[in-house]
Chains A and B, each alone.
Chain A
């Protein structure tokens, strides 16, 4: 079984500041991990994914995440926040190595960016 915990339902940063969104996972098998972003009234868009290759993963819009097995974490970061980054972010886990790939999502973190 898989589960995801996103620490902090709301995160607020100033424009230009570091963005850090936290995600911890639980998985009985080696996981595949994902970050999705959801803008208001839209569907989810994939930001980046970890599928057992490099542990530091780079995604779109300068986001990146690092898979840390020892900490069971997959935190999302961006060096400098932009107003357009304001959205809801979801971390998701899937059992690696299977053809099903059922995604289990965290509860989401709403990112607010102040000017």
Chain B
């Protein structure tokens, strides 16, 4: 199994630009999570999808952030317009139904975003 795949691994962009982060969950997993990691705030859950439907987006910081999951094998997190304070590492994680009883999430390698 290839694990959770995220792209790009690194992104440097200028303030005001649109940024799109991509995630491919583990095949067969039906839950997908987007997290943000910063020194100041640690690991924060941004949004959670189940069967491609957003279930909890209470962690999305503001309207500049949006996430989609058009199918079971792909999700995007978009920031438009980006700001320097969005600089962070963004992780995607997935979980399968058979893991529901143990809630084990499998994390991707992350995308390091730098907004200048």
Contact = CB atoms under 8 A, between A and B. Distances in A.
Interface string A86-105: 00001000100001111111
B32 interface: no
Most buried by A among B4, B93, B100, B107: B107
Interface string A43-62: 11110010100000000000
A109 B110 CA distance: 19
A38 to B, nearest CB: 9
Interface residues of A, number: 23
Per DSSP, are chain B's interface residues mostly helix, strand or loop, or mixed?
strand
B109 A102 contact: no
B110 A90 contact: no
B55 A100 contact: yes
Nearest to A99: B100
A27 interface: no
B109 A94 contact: no
- Chain B contact-residue range equals 20 to 34
A105 B104 contact: no
B25 interface: no
Interface in B8-66: 33, 42-43, 45, 48, 55-56
A49 B104 contact: yes
Most buried by A among B100, B104, B109: B104
Contacts of B48: 100, 102
A63 interface: no
A44 B42 contact: no
A57 to B, nearest CB: 11
Contacts of A45: 107
A106 B102 CA distance: 19
A102 B95 contact: no
B105 interface: yes
Interface of B: 4, 33, 42-43, 45, 48, 55-56, 91, 93, 95, 100-110
Interface of A: 32, 34, 36, 41-46, 49, 51, 90, 94, 99-108
What are the 3 closest A-B residue pairs judged by CB atoms, nearest first? Answer: A101-B103, A43-B107, A105-B43
